Amino acid sequence: MNKIWLLMMLASLIVLLYVDPGATLSTMIDASTSALTLCIELCAVYAVWLGLLEIVDATGLGQKLAKLLRPLIKKLFRVDNEEIEKMIALNMSANILGLGNAATPMGIKAMKSLDDGSGVATFSMIMLVVVNATSIQLLPSTVIGLRANAGSENPADIILPTILATVVTVSIGIILVLIFDKIKRHIARRKK
Amino acid sequence: MSIYILPILFIGLFLYGFFKKINTYDTFVKGAKGAIKLVVDIFPFIACIMIAVALLRASGVTEFLAKCLAPVFNFLGIPPELCELILLRPFTGSGSYALLNDVFVTYGADSYIGRCASVILGCSETIFYVATIYLSQTKVKRLGYAIPCALIASMIGAIVACLLCKII
């Protein structure tokens, strides 16, 4: 991330020096302002979801959901801890329901519990990020809303191809993580 | 139909909490308290990404890159008009939705390009954003092979999306 960010910043700053040096600072501050606005909105959304999540947790519904999804989670994420299984189960359920903003706080909690403090991402952490970063949501509600606004005759006709493409993306993501993990282990064994 | 799902889930949750004798008010407050801390923690990460993306767009670097990559996208079966959208998608959610709207305005929501753009956005995520925010409360500095995996998967997803739009 450090290298990517530096590259993005340097490339655009140098180009801006030629094209429009006066716009540099105002662009940065505008972007930071929109980040703050976004965070305020997110804070409101998270307050609702974290409040509800706490109730889900207190009633024991979280455990029940985790128990239901345990075989899958255990296999896919290679975790063996009830608390983490519960967070991942809630994260996945929210994602599938298309509630990306509800999934984020639970995913962050799961990541925090998965952290072993070594500074290196474990297999489970990588899998969780990749599954979340390849979008397992089934109903692209924002896209459908935008299409309806733009005067589409059938805004929802992209649902079927979207679901199919999503399944492809997530499956490839999972397969790639498994392949990379195998390669990594192979290299580690060779070094020994 | 789908507008009933959430309200019904919520009613079920509160009723269940009542039967389980849980103080729903206290519990909700306890959970909601965590929101401010969470947002304070992730703000710097969000700001960094958004600043970089805004500079990239303002300087025209993304437009230039999109032009350079157009033949590659064309070869892969992706309409070259969607280059910028695909390049920015991993970094920004709101930004890519703005670009999607531009595509709708320019080419029409029901055109082939408009449908491709819709499916590509629907089947992908803001990879860098997800990765940095998920890591924000851990000590992990590097994510190993997570980002390449997600990027390759999304790229293949985009190619499949354009193919599917031709068929369906």
Give whichever of A116-120, A152-156, B17-21 has the largest mean pLDDT: B17-21
- Beta-bridge mates of residue B142: A120
B94 touches chain A (CB under 8 A): yes
Amino acid in the structure at residue A158:
I
Confidence of residue B24 (pLDDT cuts 50, 70, 90): very high
| Buried b or exposed e, range A100-132, using 16+ CB within 10 angstroms | bebbbbbbbbbbbbbbeeeeebbbbbbbbbbbb
How far does B70 lie from chain A, in Å, by closest CA?
20
pLDDT at B1: 52
Any chain A CB within 8 A of the CB of B144?
A: yes
- The torsion of the CA quartet A60, A93, A39, B117, rounded to 10 degrees, works out to -170
Q: Quick check: B127 contacting A, CB < 8 Å?
A: yes
Q: Rounded mean pLDDT of B7-28?
A: 92
- Residue B136 confidence (pLDDT): 87
Per-residue confidence at A13, pLDDT binned at 50, 70, 90? Answer: very high
Q: What is the DSSP string of A67-93?
A: HHHHHHHHHHH----HHHHHHHHHHHH
Are B28 and A55 an interchain contact pair (Cβ–Cβ within 8 Å)? yes
Q: Is A24 exposed, middle or buried (0-12, 13-18, 19+ CB in 10 A)?
A: middle
- Which of B17, B154, B157 is the closest to A59 by Cβ? B17
Residues in chain B: 168
pTM to 2 decimals?
0.88
Q: What is the pLDDT of residues A59-116, one digit of tens each?
A: 988 888 888 888 889 999 998 888 899 999 999 888 887 777 788 999 999 999 998 8
Q: Which two tokens stand for residue A150?
A: 């733009």
Report yes or no: B128 at the A interface, CB cutoff 8 Å.
yes
**Does A182 have pLDDT greater than 90?**
yes
Question: Across the strands, what pairs with A120?
Answer: B142
What ipTM does this complex have?
A: 0.86
Of B165, B97, B83, the closest CA to residue B126 belongs to B97
Half-sphere exposure of B163 (CA within 13 A, CB side): 11
**Mean per-residue pLDDT of chain A:** 89
Under 8 Å between Cβ of A71 and A15: no
**What is the C-alpha to C-alpha distance for residues B110 and A158, in angstroms, rounded to an integer?**
10
Q: What is the residue-wise DSSP string for B14-28?
A: HHHHHHTT--HHHHH
The percentage of residues in chain B with a pLDDT greater than 70, rounded to a whole number, is 99
Smallest CA–CA distance, residue B29 to chain A, in Å, is 6
Which residues in chain A are contacts of B14 at CB distance < 8 A?
A: 55
pLDDT at B111 over 80: yes
The nearest CA of chain A is from the CA of B71 a distance in Å of: 22
Residue B148 to residue A51, Cβ atoms within 8 A:
no
